[in-house]
Chains A and B, each alone.
Chain A
């Protein structure tokens, strides 16, 4: 009886995504399978081959920045193995037909190999044991729901605005995730708010992950290896946010020479380089900077030259810098150091003047500066064959500084007077983090992860100093809102268990303690995921998770502004928490080329915090508590996804059906209302077509029910209390139910095309390809119309509602040079 071979999915966790199709490699008589790792890291390709194909096969190759095809040709010369590049896969075969045999497939021994039971197919000829070297565990192989590992390649293959690839915008294509305001990096996961997502760089939180009002995120995709994203089954390791967790992992430095790339785009440029320092140490450094200040300078010069008495000043740039050094101490131990600095600087202002005996000048200056600093040092130590550990110490700082300086001077032939107003505002968070994480495999059927951390938070929510001077007199005031210090302790343990051939489970718990302002809050977050696999290609899962959040962000606009404040739970408020249950079914085709999934979830959110109605009427001198209200929310829905993971054409179609609402004591009269991102239907289609080795085309279509908006259709008569600031009879908008209006259906198509050449690649992009200008908001306006009356025709001002539509088709181009 002939037993058919099964598919083995070989997961290499150290995969490094990279778009480069040129490869640098120098090996001599090394096992072929071991050499693939380096090629995967450099090209992002998967290798598909039979398990016995490479038994005893060693390769020798010496290539410096050579095309992948040439390197593969050199590698497999005289080995009897042929290769074909199919899309993102390199498929390896023997040049001859294998001998027909019948056998049972032995169980794989390797800990990172997941086997499929052999099939009995008598009479059939022997086929290959297929080994797929790729990054992500297929959904049918894990107990987790809603987890996604996204490679840098996938991030780059998602077409985005202005051609600036962006991890957050790539996540927005996932089912259950909706974008914020069009073009911005806001992200809403399963009905959660934007601040309920924890963004981490190498497991260290970043508070502000947006540049330029949210148009770009803080992560430089040129140096990203991959990112882990969790939205339903949350590993016990993570807590502190209600909706999702995203951990961005950086590439390691090259070991075989100094290589890097430079990218020049319409809006920014980037340069990164990595290589070895001696035999045991590698480095990686990347810097990215925007060009807006350079591009805007000539335009401003032209504008200013037209009116010498009135000048506009504007300078904006963002930059970020990443560095990573890793050093191998021994076979068991590595140490590393990571640094990240991201900075946004906006300087704007105006100069106006009127010369003469009776003259004046006025100078207005705004300086905004905000960003993140992250320093991290750590060590990985393999305690024994079954246990590894990681110890980390990190410092992360978010800062925002704003200065407004307004000066004016008036003079005449008799006297002069000068007035100056300076307002300085500071807002920052400093975190010291110490953590230890352990990964223990007591048996083939159990993998235990445990660890703990301590975080020392220092919050300075706001400190404002105002200085007013008029000639010789000066008044200085400082809002005395003190800094808050908080101590946070976390401990977690989880076990990933193979209960039987068909059952898997992941159970864990995360305990947290948050001490602030003399109060101690505690949280216990149990997590459990169960999976049942009735056959090779189907798995059914269910999960429960609880998450607790001790900090929240206060924002007063739909944009990401430096005035958005992260503040801890204080006063009368309790930590926010969420309970989520989820269930799903996952299917994959026989060879894993296609996958389909359906996930359902129900989330209960407690102690949510939001601004109460008319919060601005409370003077800011009061604690922010006075402006806030607490409440609850629910989110429920289903996510469907069909995915093609290999071949020339890959991609997915995702559909989400969702409901989400909120209820606060002092908002909307205490009544429940739909959340702003209560998008009933969301469809995302992503297609990547590798036409050949040189050209890849990507298309992303997104469509969703419009966001909710508070429309104020009625007016009432102003009381007109008689002073100059209050005109009687004027129409005043009447309060209405929150989010009572749904914007029209949103949809757009984004396209991008990458063309490889000898030294790098061009990327062409088309945002909103068919130029459907979507409505992002409603505003009130007035327009002049002609009205005919018995006494004649006259122009009158007519009130109108207007749909605000922002982005038409926007092309982009960039070139990446690799060396």
Chain B
């Protein structure tokens, strides 16, 4: 939210009304360098994207691929082939060389999975409706909110970074809450259409999702919306219950026949253990898009914000992650409320 920009603009309205911008091309003496980007996931092959930097004024999105680069992957000091599957705890060094753009390297350690557990959850119905029609034997529309406590057991003696996220699942689908397509079962007269969405994750409800927000960000109206990265600084080596709240969840079904399987729905919670570089990159993106520094720099009233990088050339991010999941099944909750409304 760019409220700071609004405030400053309004405060300096007379100034801004008379101010102006003038395009120019600065004289700079810079050479393009190599850029490395890679997200290493435990158990998956390593992919490295090698590109080169370009002048801002050159083009919006030029072809930055580097054809002559050679990439070397070292794991715990040993060179590995491209088919190597990284493991948790691997210390990986990626280096690349190009005759034109020089050398670049970055290191990262694949973090260990940290288990999560749902210890408490409580959905509440905000509205429910059901009906039956000649060609629709199973019809209902239930809106609900959900509170859940998910415990993160932080390992001792390491500095850990996390990213919490969730995915809805329902019926046989495993989507992110898109409308379910009507599915025609054999025989053709049988019809089922399920829609399920966990609703909006209330990032503000869990204080730890706001731990990156300081005074400067708070007063400028920056919100944690969309940002669920956090660190273990406040609970290092201990368990921490994440207070998760969803609002405006919805389950809707229309089916020609009663089918209990269509009630299958819920949420899969995912806790990624991420490398520091991943956390820093996400934090940078939030600062740029939501934080006040991006606005100030855009107006010319603050230092420009450069992109985070852990690559030797300052270009690109080499990050790593591993994940653990747990499932919350809402089938019983939906079924109970289905019956109540009947």
Contacts and interface: CB of A to CB of B under 8 A. Distances in A.
A733 B216 contact: no
Interface stretch (A319-327, A615-623, A681-689, A692-700): A615-623
A368 interface: yes
B297 A779 contact: yes
A802 B218 contact: no
Contacts of A58: none
A735 B306 contact: yes
Contacts of A333: none
B298 A779 contact: yes
Contacts of B49: 717, 719
B301 A464 contact: no
Given A715-B53, A719-B281, A719-B316, A415 B300 contact: no
Interface stretch (A80-88, A516-524, A542-550, A553-561): A553-561
B25 A801 contact: yes
Contacts of A730: 61
B300 A721 contact: no
A417 B309 contact: no
A26 interface: no
Contacts of B190: none
B278 interface: yes
Contacts of A729: 61
B299 interface: yes
B301 A181 contact: yes
B35 interface: yes
A213 B16 CA distance: 14
Interface string A351-368: 000000000000010101
Contacts of B305: 733
Given A348-B10, A714-B54, A364 B207 contact: no
Nearest to B290: A725
B94 to A, nearest CB: 13
A419 B203 CA distance: 12
Interface string A407-421: 000000011010101
A797 interface: yes
A753 B249 CA distance: 68
Contacts of B127: 414-415
Contacts of A783: 23
Contacts of A723: 165
A782 B278 CA distance: 28
Given A733-B304, A781-B21, A803-B22, A715 B309 contact: no
A804 B300 contact: yes
Contacts of B216: 556, 563
Contacts of B58: 799
A711 B21 contact: no
A614 B18 CA distance: 33
Interface stretch (A236-244, A593-601, A647-655, A805-813): A805-813
Contacts of A799: 56-60
A358 to B, nearest CB: 13
A801 B23 CA distance: 6
A466 interface: yes
Given A725-B282, A725-B285, A805 B25 contact: no
Contacts of B252: none
Interface stretch (B80-88, B130-138, B240-248): B240-248
B183 interface: no
Interface stretch (B167-175, B226-234, B332-340): B226-234
A804 B58 CA distance: 21
Interface stretch (B26-34, B108-116, B260-268): B26-34
Contact of B211 (A468, A621, A735, A775): A621
A415 B212 CA distance: 34
Interface string B10-51: 111001101111111110101011010111000000000101
A425 B300 contact: no
Interface stretch (A66-74, A222-230, A246-254, A469-477): A469-477
Interface string A174-190: 00000001010000000
Interface in A434-462: 462
A316 interface: yes
A724 B307 CA distance: 18
B90 interface: no
Interface string A551-580: 000001111001101000000000000000
B194 interface: no
A663 to B, nearest CB: 17
B65 to A, nearest CB: 9
Nearest to A808: B18
Given A404-B218, A414-B126, A415-B126, A714 B32 contact: yes
B286 interface: yes
**Interface hub of A557, A620, A777, A799 (most chain B Cβ within 10 A):** A557
Contact of A726 (B16, B129, B285): B285
A373 interface: no
Contacts of B282: 721, 725-726
A619 B211 contact: yes
Contacts of A717: 35, 37, 49, 51, 64, 315-316
Contacts of B215: 402, 425, 427, 462, 464, 563, 565, 620
Contact of B301 (A558, A713, A718): A558
A483 interface: no
B303 A316 contact: no
Given A415-B127, A620-B213, A783-B23, A563 B60 contact: no
A302 interface: no
Given A475-B207, A620-B212, A710-B304, A366 B30 contact: no
B18 A617 contact: no
Q: Is the interface of B mostly helix, strand, loop or mixed?
A: mixed
Nearest to A292: B11
B314 interface: yes
B221 interface: yes
B226 A725 contact: yes
Contacts of A556: 216, 292-293, 296, 302
A415 B247 CA distance: 12
B22 A366 contact: no
Interface string A605-643: 000000000101101111000000000000000000000
Nearest to A627: B214
B60 A731 contact: yes
A399 to B, nearest CB: 14
B27 to A, nearest CB: 9
B318 to A, nearest CB: 8
Nearest to A477: B207
A562 B220 CA distance: 11
Contacts of B316: 716-717, 719
A777 B280 contact: no
B202 interface: yes
Contacts of A421: 204, 223
Contacts of B287: 616
Nearest to A213: B11
A796 B28 CA distance: 25
A614 B291 CA distance: 13
Contacts of B206: 475
A33 interface: no
B247 A470 contact: yes
Interface string A47-89: 0000000000000000000000000000000000000000000
Nearest to A300: B10
Max chain A Cβ within 10 angstroms of own Cβ: one of B8, B292, B304? B304
A366 B126 contact: no
A351 to B, nearest CB: 14
B163 to A, nearest CB: 9
A780 interface: yes
A404 B317 contact: no
7 contacts: A717-B51, A718-B307, A720-B37, A733-B307, A777-B299, A779-B21, A806-B16
Given A557-B296, A731-B61, 15 more contacts: A213-B11, A427-B215, A616-B291, A713-B57, A714-B33, A718-B37, A721-B39, A721-B317, A722-B39, A724-B226, A731-B56, A735-B314, A798-B60, A804-B21, A807-B15
